[in-house]
Structure 1
Amino acid sequence: MEFATVGVVGAGVMGVGVAQNLAQTGHRVVLVDVSEAVLDRARAELRTSLRSFRLLNPGSRVDPAEVLGRIEFTLDYQRLADADFVVENTTEDWAVKEEVYRRIDAICRPEVVFAVNTSAISITRVGSVTGRPERVVGMHFMNPVPMKPMVEVIRGYHTTPETIDTATRFLAGMGKERIVVEDVPGFVSNRVLMLTINEAVFLVQDGVANAEDIDRIFRTCFDHKMGPLATADLIGLDTILKSVEVLYESFNDDKYRPAPLLKKMVAAGLLGRKSGQGFHSYH
């Protein structure tokens, strides 16, 4: 296997999904985070997710114990020294990402490609803090990762065609296709989606309709599987807020101004599915 060992940095919702997908497709995974509590939660989430995957895919030969056995959970970044490819999934916070990339750039072999799993942060900016900007590529996975067949791949200013080819082969090994887009804040998916979600929050805030009815309109009128506010709950309202703030800062355009209600809910800890309450209840 070309990418036998894959480093996955960040054991949040997206990191866990990427790690699961990789382990299910036969890769050895080194899952790194800075908190033992986060890693413990990741183990529990993986067990639950693998059971659900088998229930939803009755013909699948996925063995949860075997898949978990392919994942190493660690606090030690040095374990990435053996990685053949790295996918980074940390929070949408530039200060955090900058520190992570300076760290892994010093550990990983020079030829290893870094994939930035981000909603809005510039791939070119990430590449600039490494010694390998030509080997840094955006790889925007969708949630839940094991169930989504398409990945948005983002070409940074220095990203070479060879790196795009490497990323394409890597994703094919996960059973995924890719669409390549250029490096602008939000890319394609989130430049549209975050505006939609933010405007839906304004509708709730302004009393135009409640969250249930807004989502129902999108499901029944446009055949969307989920409405914008249920999608926000799935992604996490804190992640939504950070992504909208990046767009607002990047474009300096008031249309990206975060809805005050969104900021208030995040401050209150109403983050969606992961906290049990967002625009909908998950208790």
Structure 2
Amino acid sequence: MTNAPPVVGVIGGGRMGAGIAQSFAAAGSFVTVVEGDAHAAAAALDRIAGGLARAAERGRLAEPADRVLARIATAASVHDLPADADLVVEAVFEDAALKAELLAAAERVVAARTVLASNTSSLSIAELGSVLTDPSRFLGMHFFNPVPASALIELVVAPATGEQTLRAALDWTRALGKQDVVVRDSPGFASSRLGVALGLEAIRMVEEGVADPQAIDDAMTLGYKHPMGPLRLTDLVGLDVRLAIADHLHATLGERFAPPRLLRDKVARGELGRKTGQGFYPWE
């Protein structure tokens, strides 16, 4: 990073992308958020503004929220990413083909020095990077929800990832005031692989009538000091997101990651967690 304010692109302005953009802007970066159209881009900006207002209320911003928001722009196409970006983070839904398409398009727009990253929570970094002309500039930067309050970024290194790329990602992580863990590219990395295993077993316990969701979550928060139980966390992440990750891990790692029928049924009914108002818990 240079002495000039860093320039960051974020592809995708959903809950994760908005949180990533907010975090970088709060740390002093100029950020461009790419969404599919003008309406979605405006919704992403509203999402970020709401996040900044909440952070200001809690005393977590070093400057007024409107000043941070002024460093964030939106765009309706990857082709409008700033060519001088220092970093571009792809943060769309867990669809490998879509992610690869957007990353390849971003590479054609930005400078050769720009670090490219994916916020994927489970997909192969090596496979996503295979579409790039220079995969050495690419790695996984797995953020956690809610991004502004989370302490962790999981950095995922593929065989082609260059040492300079990893060093830059470590610098970005520390500039955001977060802690890194560096892992080798493998299905589910470290966090998703362990988190999904726990979440799926908790869902099976509900399915089998072992206990209700609150009791299972209490067992982990009170007995093991987890900050949040696996079922409430599933609601927060999104049951559809958890199912997509489980399907990927099932295909790559075998039957121990087979999604329970209850999870598939709830997703089919649209009970996706907090974002739809109902998951394993009702949400306002």
Q: TM-score range by the shorter chain?
A: over 0.9
Q: State the SS of the aligned residue for 1:153.
A: strand
Q: State the SS of the aligned residue for 1:248.
A: helix
Please give the alpha-carbon distance, in whole angstroms, between the structure 2 residues aligned to 1:260 and 1:107: 43
Shift of 1:43: 2.2
TM-score by length of 2: 0.95
Range 172-181 or range 269-278, more displaced: 172-181
Provide runs of 4+ in structure 1 moved above 4 Å.
none
Letter in 2 for 1:259: P
In the other structure, the counterpart of 1:275 is 276
Pairs within 5 Å for 1:42-121 = 42-57=44-59, 60-80=61-81, 81-121=83-123
Pairs within 5 Å for 1:203-242 = 203-242=205-244
- The counterpart of 2:140, out of the listed 131, 138, 141, is 138
Letter in 2 for 1:195: A
Please give the alpha-carbon distance, in whole angstroms, between the structure 2 residues aligned to 1:93 and 1:221: 36
Shift of 1:131: 0.7
CA RMSD of aligned residues (A): 1.4
Please give the alpha-carbon distance, in whole angstroms, between the structure 1 residues aligned to 2:212 and 2:49: 35
Please give the alpha-carbon distance, in whole angstroms, between the structure 1 residues aligned to 2:280 and 2:37: 28
Q: Is the 8 A contact 2:79 2:105 kept in 1?
A: no
Distance 1:198 1:35, change over 3 A: farther
Q: State the SS of the aligned residue for 1:146.
A: coil
Letter in 1 for 2:69: L
Range 72-81 or range 212-221, more displaced: 72-81
Letter in 1 for 2:113: E
Q: State the SS of the aligned residue for 1:233.
A: helix
Q: Deviations over 1:144-203 (max 9, x none)?
A: 111122211111010111111111112222222211110001111111000111111111
Q: Deviations over 1:60-99 (max 9, x none)?
A: 4331111111111110222212312101111111121121
Which structure 2 residue ranges, 5 or more long, are not aligned?
none
Please give the alpha-carbon distance, in whole angstroms, between the structure 2 residues aligned to 1:61 and 1:106: 35
In the other structure, the counterpart of 2:130 is 128
- The counterpart of 1:39, out of the listed 27, 41, 47, is 41
Which structure 1 residue ranges, 5 or more long, are not aligned?
none
Letter in 2 for 1:189: S
- The counterpart of 2:176, out of the listed 155, 174, 177, is 174
Please give the alpha-carbon distance, in whole angstroms, between the structure 2 residues aligned to 1:206 and 1:95: 36
TM-score by length of 1: 0.95
In the other structure, the counterpart of 1:183 is 185
Q: Deviations over 1:185-226 (max 9, x none)?
A: 111111100011111111111111111111111111111111
Q: How many residues align?
A: 281
